[in-house]
Chain A
Amino acid sequence: MFRRTLMTATAAMALAVAGLGAASAQETIRLGAAAPQSGPLAGGAAVTHWPAVRLWVQQTNAAGGLQLASGKALIELVEYDDQTNPQQAIQAAQRLATQDQVDFMVAPYSTGLNLAAAPIFAQLGYPQITGTAVTNQQPELAAQFPNMFFLLGRTGVMAEDTAKVLVDLREAGSIGNRVALVNVADAFGIEMAGISKAVLEGAGFEIVYQSSYPLGTQDLAPIIDGAKSAEADAFIAWSYPGDTFALTDQAIVQGFAPSVFFTAVATAFPAYAGRFGEQIEGVLGMGGVNADDPAFQAFSAAHTELAGQGPDFWASAATYATLEVLGQAIEAVGSADRAAVLAHLQDRANSYETILGPVDFNENNDNERYWTVGQWQNGVFRGVSARGRDGAVDVQLFDGWN
């Protein structure tokens, strides 16, 4: 009932935008999307995933659709809420493919949901280009699911680059040797902290305070107090949105200002700057973008117009880029022939132009170019460390909460 009306409305709007001039036998491509609209990850998906997906569909349709051999084809988006539940993610992928018979699917949101849905994508031959899965298992995953592509990055690389920022600062004589390392105790936090610890210790840093806290904890005064008492020069937190805010808040309250303050997921969210304003100048976080790139700025403006909020400075653009890649593969093939599009994606010789810059895939279906560390500088979260991407700016030293 709801969906029917919604879909007709979108389609009608799209047609009106496209101009009805050439609308004799207009082809449409059905694109399915299932991601959290409720449940624990709904907050993140509402910032990063949904606006980017809807924006791409809107912009593509406004431009008349995708150029196929037979003419232009509009995109029709079919959305489902997977309730942040792997069972529902599986069921939704299955439903999109076999009941709604969509031509293509947007990859789900988050590592866990992407992996849960991966067998369905693989069995039914749908390309799964992920913009929100961070893992270190690309080789194993690509072997098992040859239709799965990765745009966001590898956990190992993320941890290494974060450590490298510290090494560089230490070599420049800006910081000392003492690091406080904390993490949210779930798969992501544990994995990141594990790699981080090994890399940092390998680089001769001393971990003076290490702890984890349960998922969903927002009472983090003891952690900041612990890190402060340990007199750490650098504070690294592999955190999730709620606790990223809470850690920053507590650090400000307790006046804990080490030379490096790093929090992970949600540091790149516009809401982070919204909450803390100018106080966060110099805070480091996971991800980043080339904020000076006109392509990103145009994306940001359009995103703000559509969603009433800006994109995050990391995975929003990656999510959007996954659809750009898909769209370009479809146009290159010239039809919505899924097998051909998948074959095109699997051909490592092909590359794609996205708002992230050029994207191509290695033998593990991994686009080895990504942003790893960013920093709030003058109200913008700029990438300061990247693999294979231009535009990284220099790290500035964090000089306390203004």
Chain B
Amino acid sequence: MFILITGLLLGGTYALIALGLNLQYGVARIMNLANGELLVAGGFAAFWAYTAAQVSPVAALVLVAPIAFAVNWLIYRIMLQPLVSRAKSRGALEVDSILATFGMSFALVGIMTALFGGGYFNYAYLAQPVDIFGSSYAQNRLVAFVLAALIGLGLWLWLSYTRAGLRLRALAVNPASARLVGIDTRAASAQAFALGGAITAVGGALISMFFTLDASVGILFTMKALIIVIMGGVGDIRGTIVAAMILGICETAVARLIDPGLTLAAAYVLFLGILLFRPQGLFGKKPT
């Protein structure tokens, strides 16, 4: 039971890390290597709100989400759209977006170091235990899990049952055909990218409740997010959530039952295994 709950809580964390990238990569076709830095920026915002103004990280989301949405929308419009327009093929766009967002991640680390210094950031919010089935868990992790579940569910409902969501799904399947049926692919891509960025920043704000962050730590999150997104299948929200949960439970089980030293190795074995047998990811559709 301890393993299952701890694993689910960890899976919630992973879902927060990866959901945003799924939208950015799956729908807007930008393999965003600056994803982790945006996550850390969200965490810094929450840290700042909590320490300077005693605003709880959860309440701070009301501000973090729209600001992150706006910033990411601008990033897409100004910096990434020219790349999308000039790309002759999906491969060319991939190369360009890797290069551009890699540069962006450097710049973001530089900006954050200049603004906040290079030191460690953390704070105590809801760091008390809560008992479930006889074991203790951190309240803040539970809160993050619940919010991750709400975000995932909300996103899935939105994508499945609204016109705007339908547009994004069409875009995810095939940008060229989406254009043919009258979807403004530029606007929809920008929307998807911005929404993804907002979710990532929200994730960062929540994770900062129990992670110690510093300006340079983003790359770790980026790598984790990439792996979860690919594992779950690009462009499918359910896949990302399932992959995040599987990864969380698997890592916790290995840590508790075998050896914590092998958690990451186990995660990569799992990931490589899934990739070999289902190259399109758990929920991905076979490319036609």
> What residues make up the interface of A, taking CB atoms closer than 8 Å to B?
36-40, 42-43, 45-47, 50, 84, 182, 185, 211-214, 216-223, 225-226, 241-242, 245-246, 249-250, 252-255, 266, 269, 271, 275-277, 309
Contact B255 A213 (CB under 8 A): yes
Chain B residues with CB under 8 Å of A276's CB are: 124
In the complex, the answer to whether B214 meets A42 with C-beta atoms within 8 Å is yes
B255 touches A254 (CB 8 A): no
Which 5 pairs of residues, A with B, have the shortest CB-CB distance?
A: A46-B118, A43-B214, A222-B255, A42-B118, A46-B119
**Which residue in chain A gives the minimum CB-CB distance to B252?**
A222
On chain A, the residues within 8 Å of B137 by CB distance are: 221, 253
Structural contact, A245 and B212, CB atoms closer than 8 A: yes
Instruction: Report the Cα distance A275→B212, complex, angstroms.
Output: 10
Inter-chain CA distance A271–B30, complex, in Å, is 37
The answer to whether A211 and B259 have CB atoms under 8 Å apart is yes
Knowing that A42-B214, A213-B255, A226-B260 are A-B contacts, what are 10 other residue pairs whose CB atoms are under 8 Å apart, sorted by A's residue number? A42-B216, A217-B260, A218-B210, A218-B211, A219-B251, A221-B6, A225-B2, A246-B212, A271-B120, A275-B123
Q: In the bound complex, do residue A43 and residue B216 qualify as a contact, i.e. CB atoms below 8 Å apart?
A: yes
Q: Is B72 an interface residue (CB 8 A)?
A: no
Q: How far is the CA of A250 from the CA of B127 in the complex (A)?
A: 9
The interface centre, meaning the residue of A226, A245, A249, A276 with most chain B CB atoms within 10 A of its CB, is: A249
Q: Is the CB of B113 within 8 A of A38?
A: yes
B9, B128, B263 pick with most chain A CB within 10 angstroms: B263
Chain B: CB-nearest residue to A219: B10
B256 within 8 A of A: yes
Binding site for A on B (CB under 8 A): 2-3, 6, 9-10, 13, 109-110, 113, 117-120, 122-124, 127-129, 135-138, 210-212, 214-217, 220, 251-252, 255-256, 259-261, 263-265
CA distance A276 to B255 in the complex (A): 26
Q: Are A249 and B210 in contact, CB atoms less than 8 angstroms apart?
A: yes
Give CA–CA (A226, B146) in the complex, Å.
26
Given A249-B210, A255-B136, A214-B261 contact (CB < 8 Å): yes
B264-A40 in contact (CB<8A): no
Give Cα A216 to B264, complex, Å. Answer: 10
A219 to B113, CA, bound (A): 25
A309 CB contacts on chain B under 8 angstroms: 119
In the assembled complex, the Cα of A245 lies from the Cα of B3 at a distance in Å of: 21
Report Cα–Cα, A37/B106, bound state, in Å.
13
A213 touches B263 (CB 8 A): yes
| Contact of A45 (CB < 8 Å), options: B110, B118, B256, B260 | B118
Question: Which of A43, A185, A216 is in CB contact (< 8 Å) with B118?
Answer: A43
Residues of A within 8 A of B265 (CB): 214
Query: Does B260 lie within 8 Å of A38, measured CB to CB?
Result: no
A182 and B259 alpha carbons, distance in the complex (Å): 11
With A225-B2, A271-B120 given, is the CB distance from A252 to B216 under 8 Å? Answer: no
Residue contact A249 to B127, C-beta cutoff 8 Å? yes
Residues of chain B within 8 A of A36, CB atoms compared: 118
B138 and A253 contact, CB distance less than 8 A: yes
What's the Cα separation between A222 and B255 when bound, in Å? Answer: 6
Specify the chain B residue showing the minimal Cβ separation from A184: B261
Closest to B6 in A: A221
A38→B215 contact, CB < 8 A: yes
State whether A37 and B118 are in contact (beta carbons under 8 Å apart), knowing that A249-B138, A253-B128, A254-B136 are contacts in the complex. yes
- Complex CA–CA separation, A241 to B109 (angstroms): 19
Least CB distance, B253 to chain A, in whole angstroms: 9
A212 touches B216 (CB 8 A): no
Residues of A within 8 A of B255 (CB): 213, 222-223
Contacts of A213 in B (CB 8 A): 255, 260-261, 263
Complex: how many Å from CA A241 to CA B118? 13
Enumerate chain A residues within 8 angstroms of B118, measured Cβ to Cβ.
36-38, 42-43, 45-46, 50
- Of the A-B pairs whose beta carbons lie under 8 Å apart in the complex, a sample of 11, sorted by A's number, is A36-B118, A43-B118, A43-B119, A182-B260, A217-B263, A223-B260, A225-B256, A249-B127, A249-B138, A249-B210, A275-B123
